[in-house]
Structure 1
Amino acid sequence: MADRNSLAVAIGKNLPELRHLELIGNSMTNTGLKAILDGCLHLDSFDLRQCLYIDLKGDLGKRCSEQIKHLKLPHDALDGFQHLDENVDVPYDVTSESEIHSDGYDDPFYHGVDYEDSDDDYDEGDDLANLLMLNEAIAFMAMCK
């Protein structure tokens, strides 16, 4: 069983010139996100929609917003995603780019849930989904050359 960050770590190590990346629904954690940010310094657009195991509060969220020009956050709506299959079960309707904290302030990085950086609930089915997304990313990069 591969760990949930293996795809992200592989991207960070092997694609230093990557400019655009969609990892919609990926199960990576902050460890994987950091590997991509560290290894892909030319990344211009990054789609993290439905990547529900990353926590962008704090320094990592700040780093994402400073390093990535076009960033789609985990809870952003899936509007405009051309590969969305109407039969895909999205866990809930994500309609806004941010949520309101219980104390009233608007934070685009707030999830409402604190996720730990662990692999306790890893699903082996994620490997196939990650492989398919990597294939899509490679095809997309080939189109952009």
Structure 2
Amino acid sequence: MAVDDPLATLADIQEPAIDALWFERPLVWLALLLLLVLVVYAVLKRYQQFQQQAPRREALALLQRLPAQCTASELTEILKRYLKARQLPVTLLSATPSELQRFLEHNSRGSAEDIRWPDLMALHYQRDVDAAQLQSYRQSLARWLSHHPWVLTLP
């Protein structure tokens, strides 16, 4: 039996409908792409914030590792290392304890924590340092490192 028209056998075959997601719904793909960009941006900002907080975390860890019988100069050294990592003016790194105390009091104002700083000049230069004052300095420094504002200003 011969077929008259060879295309007649193909008459019942149809091309599939084009219902692929990428072809029919470009706005869905655009929205997904926008969502992906927003997620990547949020993750990068969070990572950047995490990296910026690294000096603070390191200073708090160093403060925890210091022995209970540490000196005021060791505590001040941790503070100066933190301020150096924050890239504040070099004059602050060579500041006297009274200038440093003025800076700390200036940047402690208006915070949720009421931080009282002991006399740093007395802690640094007296022969017999009061252990309670030294402990107060240590606690104030830990509280300031934990709660100080991100933007530090010079007095």
Same fold (TM over 0.5): no
The structure showing larger relative contact order (alpha-carbon pairs under 8 Å, at least 6 residues apart) is 1
Structure richer in strand, relative to its length? 1
Structure number with larger C-alpha Rg: 2
* TM-score, normalised via structure 2 length: 0.28
